[in-house]
A and B are shown apart, each in its own frame.
Chain A
């Protein structure tokens, strides 16, 4: 560029180039569906054309047919009922105990010093390994299944809860004290709601773990249940049924996550 044109450019003025934007992902609802549809279409096409052998991956349309059978024979509900009950009871016990313990750890120095190492020691234990122990303790019936799920959701909930309690704005607690609020009021009206965002995001993790453990719990002595269904299909190398079961678990995960999303929008509407 010659000096003359540069000067005339400068004199006329150039628009300032935009260089902001980006770094702020926003949800695009339809993208997820497109990705799912594309992956399934790819699998369907591959298995039909033949470059994916039916032993590697079942044909999605076959899985769908199996799924339809499950519904029409009513087997789906026979399996879903007990599974959902186990998931609900087990995770309710685990989450409730976890939130309680987490709050105590967050508020009392002695409880914190005493229990944080215990929780750290329990967290990495694969709970599935303890299943035989739970069977001895709680019997082969529903008790051991509840216990496994409860125990598995307990530790992540504790860790999320006491972290969330630590993050509650101390000035709000000082304010509560300065107005002479009782200890229980401060916990109920300031600490708990303040910790709720952290507790709920911890619950996303705990409940996903609960679904994983559900399958493990149904490995032993369960006639009905999604886990029992998947394990039976797996031992027969019936890939269509195996995948139908896996899809149910995935859907369950999405549903649970969506449910927490709804609770978050309800309880945390005060956040911007």
Chain B
């Protein structure tokens, strides 16, 4: 299933936060959206997943979601959004409970996604017992459990320390290698973008507009920490964004 954005524009009260964003997200690719803070990247992601209404334009799903898909557009949130009163198993089962899946089948799905995210031993643990990286892996497992057509990832690694972030990036890459998925990945971290993105959409500061789309053809598994070509791409992206980021930093926050 592909996603197409047609002329998305959005304003809060009288502040225009994004303008004329048109974009195609083809199935099986990871599209990263980067931009200075306040450029509306998270808002854009909420619009794509139907959690917010754009003031202009529309988001289209093209084609049908894959078979067995319970929730075509599925989020992974920056702050994990796990229910603290449910165990790891319970947090994953939450999203299956409304679909009338028989218990045995649900348990199978949960066991499978926990295995894929290396959490099988922690099924009974409560979120407060887990590290940040593990919590985000639970959130990823939960997202995978509904067999999404498109994963909408809102700064999924931004709440983690840099070592955990490296580990989770490896996990995401190996998940992708096993079974390619479609994702829109919002981040402010350019290193994540060049490691995980097949294409990288650079937004300008408010009102957010597409400045450039950078394509990276190298397969994800071959991208490693400190790769000179990736470093060069990252520097290129940073040069694109530096002035914008500085200007955005100096703005007053009133959104």
Contact = CB atoms under 8 A, between A and B. Distances in A.
B51 interface: yes
Q: Interface on chain A toward B: helix, strand, loop, or mixed SS?
A: helix
Contacts, number: 50
B95 A270 contact: no
Interface stretch (A32-40, A110-118, A139-147, A170-178): A170-178
B241 interface: no
B98 A185 contact: yes
A271 B81 contact: no
Contact of A181 (B77, B84, B95, B128): B95
A172 B51 contact: no
Interface size class of B (residues with CB under 8 A): 20 to 34
Contacts of B49: 178
Contacts of A171: 77, 79, 81
Nearest to A181: B98
Interface in A52-111: none
Contacts of A190: 83
Nearest to B145: A179
B43 interface: no
A28 interface: no
Interface in A110-146: none
Nearest to A178: B75
A89 B126 CA distance: 36
A27 interface: no
Interface string B61-81: 000000000110111010101
Interface size class of A (residues with CB under 8 A): 10 to 19
A69 to B, nearest CB: 48
Contacts of A189: 83, 94, 97
B39 to A, nearest CB: 21
A185 B83 contact: no
Contacts of B73: 178
Identify the interface centre among A179, A180, A268: most chain B CB within 10 Å of its CB.
Answer: A179
B81 A180 contact: no
A172 B85 contact: no
Nearest to A182: B98
Interface string B183-212: 000000000000000000000000000000
Contact of A270 (B71, B75, B85, B94): B85
Contacts of B127: 270
A179 B146 contact: yes
B75 to A, nearest CB: 5
Interface in B150-166: none
Nearest to B84: A270
Given A172-B81, A175-B77, A179-B71, A185 B51 contact: no
A178 B51 contact: yes
Given A174-B77, A175-B81, A193-B85, 8 more contacts: A171-B77, A175-B75, A178-B71, A178-B73, A179-B71, A185-B98, A270-B86, A271-B84
Interface of A: 171-172, 174-175, 177-182, 185, 189-190, 193-194, 268, 270-272
